[in-house]
Amino acid sequence: MKANLILFIISIFAVQAFAQTTSEEQEITKTINLYFDGMMERNRTKLDQAFDPAARLIGYRGENFTVTPYEDWASGTAKGEPRNSDLFTNKILEIERKGYTAIAKTELFWPGIYYFDYLTLIKIDGQWKIVHKTWYEEKRED
C-alpha cells in the first residue's frame, strides 16, 4: 500500500513536469509560427510579436556575410503582397529548451532556395521572443 502511494505521488509530479514542458514548447512553437506567418503574409504585427526589437539576423547572402538589425529586416520583409503559401514550406525540426532560453532549428523551402534557420529564443515578460537568428541558404533546382 505504501509503495503504491509513493508511485502515485511520483506519477503526479511527472505529469505536472511534462505538462509544463509541453506548455512551454507550445508557446515557443506559437512564436516561431508567428515568424513564419509574418513572413508569408508580410505582416509586421506578427513579426513584432515573434521578435524582440533588439534581435539580430546573421548569415551569408551568397558570399557576403551580413548582420541585419531586426528593424531593417522586418521593414523589408513586411513590404509587398503576401506570398503564395502553396509555393513555400516552413517547418520546425527541433526545439531545445532550458529554463527561460530555447534554441530552435527550422527549414524553409522557398522557390529557388533552402533556408536553414537557427533561432535563439528567450522568455521576456512572460512571452517567448526570438532574439537572434542565424541562417544558412542553399540554392535549389525547382
DSSP 124-142: ETTEEEEEEEEEEEEE---
pLDDT class of 106 with cuts at 50, 70, 90: very high
Q: Can you tell me the mean pLDDT for 42-66?
A: 96
Q: Can you tell me the mean pLDDT for 53-59?
A: 98
Q: Can you tell me the mean pLDDT for 20-49?
A: 93
| CA–CA dist 85, 128 (Å, integer) | 25
pLDDT at 116 over 90: yes
pLDDT, residue 62, reads 83
Share of the chain above pLDDT 70, in %: 85
pLDDT, residue 134, reads 98
pLDDT at 124 over 90: yes
pLDDT at 93 over 80: yes
pTM, whole model, 2 decimals?
0.82
pLDDT at 141 over 90: no
| CA–CA dist 135, 139 (Å, integer) | 13
pLDDT at 49 over 80: yes
